[in-house]
Structure 1
Amino acid sequence: MNLKCLIVDDEPIAQNIVKGFVEDTPNLEVFEVCDNAMEALKVLQEHTVDILFLDIEMPKITGLGFLKTLDHPPATIITTAYREFALEGYELNVVDYLLKPFSFERFLKAINKVGSSKRTDDHDAKIASKSYEYFKVDRKNVRVNYNEILYIEGLSNYVKIHLPDKDLVVYHKLADLETLLPCDQFVRIHKSYIVALDKITAYGSDYIEIIDEQLSIGNTYKNNFFALLSERDEKNN
């Protein structure tokens, strides 16, 4: 069975782009396309869908406002031109946050995060969350396992990925990695840092420590960071 996708966006061009990407992806199908949240609500009340592609800026109620009203939302991928809502989106446990215009490759990375699996008539249609990523370093692609990353430091158009035994300098923007990495394993704490939650050895009101490194927590990111820590503590107790 294919994964059923609901597309919610008030811009026809944006609708068609996501619709085309879904149709070009094996094991996905477009179930419905809605112009606003109220149309989407009616669909979700009457049907079950697997993936919700949700725009933010829409009439009457925003995408994030709509998402807050759902008790058991489908796996949700935000599609928007507004970067500033990313933190709020992840607080609502969205699977991924796609900034318009996004490529088909970036779309597929979001789908890989869904981690849902269905069985078709001929084969398993499993879409598994990745545990690694390949990064281009010099002239080769280097595999980096997510569980090896300590933290990532932003350096303008480059990032430095800090691993236990080495550092990798990669041509990437920190904001792009923020949406690429699993949001339950990594969190942005500063305009210059993304850290692995399970590598934090100590923290204070305005800093965290990873091994011997002390990194500042930016004021913009404090609320989200401490909310994630509290959520993880509750799950582990």
Structure 2
Amino acid sequence: MANEKKITCLLVDDEPPALEILKKYVAAVAALEFSGTCNNAVEALNILQTRNIDLLFLDIQMPQLLGTDLIRTLKKPPRVIFTTAHRKFAIEGYELDAIDYLLKPISFERFLKAVNKVLDNLPPPGPPPPDGAQSAAAGSPNAASFQRVEPSRSLDPFLHLRAERKTIQVALDDILYVESIRDYVKVVTRNRTIVSKQSISSLEEFLPREAFIRIHRSYIVSLSKIESYTHDLVEIGRQQLPISRMYRLDVEKILQRRPG
């Protein structure tokens, strides 16, 4: 009983920030067991041929081999949850009998919804195995072993940024706003500015949605740091940041709901 079988998970994505957030999400769910990460589908294929993996969190658009093509090469693929920034792959993902399809940036609540689908799809427990078969049966998880999981609060109060040839830990509460500059992001805090090579969308995955809001294709701001706003911009300190038409309606709804 003490050693209940967990669902072993392999995370496959060519973007390190995406792997990091999935790793944190997996670690927060007792029913899941982290079994490693891969930066491409070919590496994942080698692991799947040698290790028992119950569940793949699999990006679709990767170099060398697409995630969907990886699944087509497997005679008995594990359960799959596709992760991608591209909505156009959804139909193809479901045609391959994926459990779910997560569109980046992935919130923890949406992640848990997908995990619950996995738990709901586990086979029901059969009759108790004979004594001799007990050890073999222990290798297959079933629905009786797990309970559905519910969302928790923020998993990590820090953002971890790769910059200046090191990893810099930044408290989420210190962040004023994030700006996209081509292939880089500029994270502006109370007392410093950090430039890291990654996309603003991948960074957005690490930011709790109740504390940060996307106001523009190039800007994410901390809700608690907004001092004033108009129809077209928000003001944080001396900085005025534009609200684009695409995000305006959602921004206004959220700002109007803020207490005080």
What's the TM-score, normalizing by structure 2? 0.46
Unpaired runs of 5+ residues, structure 1, are: 6-20, 34-52, 60-76, 99-112, 117-127
- Aligned twin of 1:28: 31
- CA distance in structure 2 between the aligned counterparts of 1:207 and 1:152, rounded to whole angstroms: 15
Aligned equivalent of 1:223: 249
Determine the C-alpha separation between the residues in 2 that align with 1:134 and 1:164: 16
RMSD (Å) for aligned C-alpha atoms = 3.9
Aligned partners of 1:183, 1:135: CA distance in 2, in Å?
19
| CA apart distance, 1:230 | 2.7
- Following superposition, the deviation at residue 146 of structure 1 comes to 0.3
Listed as ranges, the matches of 1:187-226 within 5 Å are: 187-226=213-252
| Matches of 2:189 and 2:158, distance apart in 1 | 13
Separation of aligned partners in 2, 1:223 and 1:153: 20
Contact 2:160 2:169 in 1 (8 A): yes
In structure 2, the residue matched to 1:40 is none
Q: Distance in 2 between matches of 1:204 and 1:96?
A: 36
2 CA distance for matches of 1:132 and 1:29?
23
Q: Which amino acid counterpart does residue 223 of structure 2 have in structure 1?
A: L
Q: Distance in 1 between matches of 2:172 and 2:185?
A: 15
Decide whether the 8 Å contact of 1:186 with 1:196 is kept in 2.
Answer: yes
SS of 1:182's equivalent? coil
Question: Which residue is equivalent to 2:166?
Answer: 140
Deviation at 1:198, TM superposition (A): 0.3
Question: Does the CA contact (< 8 Å) of 1:189 and 1:195 recur in 2?
Answer: yes
CA contact (8 A) 1:188 1:194 kept: yes
Structure of larger gyration radius: 2
Residue 187 of structure 2: aligned partner: 161
**Structure 1 position 79 matched with structure 2 position 102:** yes
- Partners of 2:224 and 2:157 lie apart in 1 by 15
* 3-state SS of paired residue (1:180): coil
* Cα pair distance change 1:94/1:201, threshold 3 Å: farther
Cα deviation for residue 175 of structure 1 reads: 0.9
- Give, as a single letter, the amino acid of the residue that structure 1 aligns with 2:247: Y
The alpha-carbon distance between structure 1 residues 95 and 182, as it changes in their structure 2 partners (threshold 3 A), is: farther
1:132-162 per-residue CA deviation (whole Å, 9 max, x = no partner) reads 0211111111110000000000001101100
Answer whether contact 1:188 1:221 (CA < 8 A) is retained.
yes
**Is the 1:114–1:129 Cα contact (8 Å) retained in structure 2?**
no
**How far apart are the structure 1 equivalents of 2:110 and 2:252?**
18
The alpha carbon displacement at 1:165 in A equals: 1.3
2: CA distance between counterparts of 1:97 and 1:194? Answer: 25
- Contact 2:159–2:170 at 8 Å: present in 1 too? yes
CA contact (8 A) 2:212 2:222 kept: yes
**Residue 184 of structure 1 is aligned with which of 210, 216, 221?**
210
Please report how far the alpha carbon of residue 29 of structure 1 lies from its aligned counterpart in structure 2 after TM superposition. 4.7
After the TM superposition, which parts of structure 1 deviate over 3 Å for at least 4 consecutive aligned residues? 53-59, 93-98
Q: 1:145 to 1:214 in 2, by over 3 A?
A: same
Higher strand share: 1
Distance 1:96 1:196 in 2: 24
Do the aligned partners of residues 136 and 114 (structure 1) sit closer, same or farther apart at CA in structure 2, a change above 3 Å counting?
A: farther
Q: Percent identity between the aligned chains?
A: 25
| Alpha-carbon spacing, 1:138–1:29, altered in 2? closer, same or farther (3 Å) | closer
**Aligned 1:67-146 pairs, distance under 5 A:** 79-80=102-103, 94=110, 114-115=151-152, 129-146=155-172
In structure 1, what is the Cα distance between the partners aligned to 2:157 and 2:235? 24
Code of the aligned partner of 2:252: F
Q: Aligned equivalents of 2:220 and 2:213: distance in 1?
A: 5
